[in-house]
Amino acid sequence: MKKGYDILKDSKVNKSTSFTVSERDEYGLHGLLPHKQGSLEDQKKRVFENLNRKAFDIERYIYLSALKERNERLYYSSVMSDLQRIMPLIYTPTVGQACKEFAQIFRFPRGMYIHREFKGKIKEVLGNWPEKDVRTIVVTDGERILGLGDLGSNGMGIPIGKLDLYVACAGIDPKHCMPVMLDVGTNNQELLDDPLYLGYPEKRLEGDEYFEFVNEFVVAVQEKYPDALIQFEDFTTINAYKLLDKYKDKVLCFNDDIQGTAGVVLAGVFASCRITKKEYKDLKIMFLGAGSAATGIADLMLSAFMDEGLSEKEAKKKLWLIDSKGLVVKSRKTIADNKIPYAQDQNEMNLIQAIKEYKPDILIGATASPNTFTKEVIELMTEINERPVIFALSNPTSKAECTAEQAYTWSKGKAVFASGSPFSEVHYEGHVFKPGQGNNAYIFPGVGLGALLTKSKSISEKMFLVAAKALAFHVTELDLQSGSLYPPLNSIREVSIEIARIVGEEAVSTGLAQCELPADVESIVYNPEY
């Protein structure tokens, strides 16, 4: 049994000033702590006071990271007590800056770095992880971090942040979580030239060699941690789809950029129908951007249209994609595989032309290019629709297709707006709009928890469809009146538990589950109390 400073240095058991007199006796802590015994609530007050003293969000990120290494339960209790405030500090948008500066702000190793020289011995390296019962893995290769591009091993901030949300939003025990960076190199020359860069200092693996490396990792996980869920995060579009197509029916896994984003956006679209008074089956939807996020959303929306009774052919005509070359049309000589299902039998046209021709009810941006929803675009959508629905999804905030203020101002307060990163409330002509953030954290923690609780063999597309419907159900009339298509972030734990139940029921009903769903999910999840 640990005693003295060994206990205070162990973040999983450390309670700092909250150790009782009897515990100080038992663990040899007298003299090592101040006299006053503080409560967890006292400690959280101190945490928030310290956050208030910081001038910049990146400083708050560093402070919270250090807190996690000192006192894990205090960290998660603080996060959960005010997700509305803390989530933007530990994930988007602050995590984007943290990833760009990851080598400079590096303090303590968190997660597994599987670099190229470990090829042939990845399973052995995984054995160095201190926890043996790993159930949730978030893995990236750092090639397409948010809208920031190739950040190499600096992208480790993404798996770390996503797993923090699994814990805070769905109650996954942190001891079951493992962030993984597949460090296959980087093509970012600026990083390769940076003497402080901590990643493998070579150009990226590509082709068969790359996929063999990833496959060795996936196989090693199956052998070491057979109950583990693998969440793929921030891979390039082509690699993301190849990996998902290869493993989705064989391994308990999903890609959050493709499927998690799709779930949260579809939920927002369902909720928007209550404002616009339109039926989902009647919607016409246009995407600006045709990468993994956009086509992932389109795939789930296609399923939702077919669930409403439309044929696949009819549903595909309702989903128009615009990429850097314009409308994705069948007459193109080459079309990426993920775009082929949505190529329209139309003439080539740009965004403005396509809006005029198609008259979409909903415009979804997933471009990683700021200012692409111009004043002309928003005004045109407002001419066509009494309440135009605008999703500016690109992360971080600096990459958003337009701001909330622009959407409301240019539409004269008529826009129904949601974004990928958070925006502050907007005051326009006597109205206060509180735009909702289409954060994947509304979806992926609950889906993951439901799959884990039932030991599902895989994760089906239907699971994301039922999750989207459950999330939309939790949007209240008060939320809609304030302009938000999503419930408050501080209610996300309740939402995640409900999604876990519904996903678990789906796993059981389809024969994917290997055990029954526990009767009382909420009582068995992680609670960071002393």
132 belongs to the catalytic site:
no
**What three-state secondary structure class fits 390?**
strand
Tell me if 182 sits within 8 A of 139, measured CB to CB: yes
In order, the DSSP letters of 393-424 are --SSGGG-SS-HHHHHHHTTT--EEEESS---
91 belongs to the catalytic site:
yes
In order, the DSSP letters of 325-371 are TEE-BTT-S---GGGGGG-BSS----HHHHHHHH--SEEEE--S-TT
Q: What is the DSSP letter of 440?
A: G
Domain boundaries, the chain: 5-87, 94-251, 259-509
What's the confidence (pLDDT) of residue 421?
87
pTM: 0.95
Q: Is the pLDDT of residue 1 over 80?
A: no
Percent above pLDDT 90 for the chain: 96
Q: Which amino acid is at 80?
A: M
Q: Which CATH class is domain 94-251?
A: alpha beta
Q: What is the DSSP letter of 257?
A: I
Supply the CATH classification number for the domain 259-509. Answer: 3.40.50.720
**Residue of 61, 75, 76, 91 with catalytic role:** 91
pLDDT, one tens digit per residue, over 232-272 is: 999 999 999 999 999 999 999 999 999 999 999 999 999 99
What's the confidence (pLDDT) of residue 52?
97
94-251 and 259-509: same fold?
A: yes
pLDDT band at 436 (very low <50, low <70, confident <90, very high): very high
Query: Exposure string (b/e) for 206-240, b if CB count within 10 Å is 16 or more?
Result: eeeebeebbebbbebbbebbeebbbbbbbbbbebb
Instruction: Look at the block and give the residue holding tokens 């208030």.
Output: 52
Q: What mean pLDDT, rounded, does the chain reach?
A: 96
pLDDT, one tens digit per residue, over 72-90 is: 999 999 999 999 999 999 9
pLDDT, one tens digit per residue, over 9-42 is: 999 999 999 999 999 999 999 999 999 999 999 9
**Residue of 162, 318, 339, 399 with catalytic role:** 162
Tell me if 476 sits within 8 A of 272, measured CB to CB: no
Distance CA 418, CA 479 (A): 12
Q: What angle do CA 83, 423, 436 make, to 5 degrees?
A: 65
The arrangement of secondary structure in 5-87, i.e. its CATH architecture, is: Up-down Bundle (1.20)
Distance CA 60, CA 57 (A): 5
**What three-state secondary structure class fits 151?**
coil
Q: Is the pLDDT of residue 150 over 90?
A: yes
Strand partners, 139: 180, 232
Radius of gyration of the chain (CA): 23
pLDDT, one tens digit per residue, over 460-477 is: 999 999 999 999 999 999
Mean pLDDT across the stretch 146-174?
A: 97
Tell me if 400 sits within 8 A of 429, measured CB to CB: no
- The edge-to-edge listing of strands for the beta sheet with 285-288 is 326-327, 319-323, 285-288, 362-365, 389-392, 416-419, 436-437
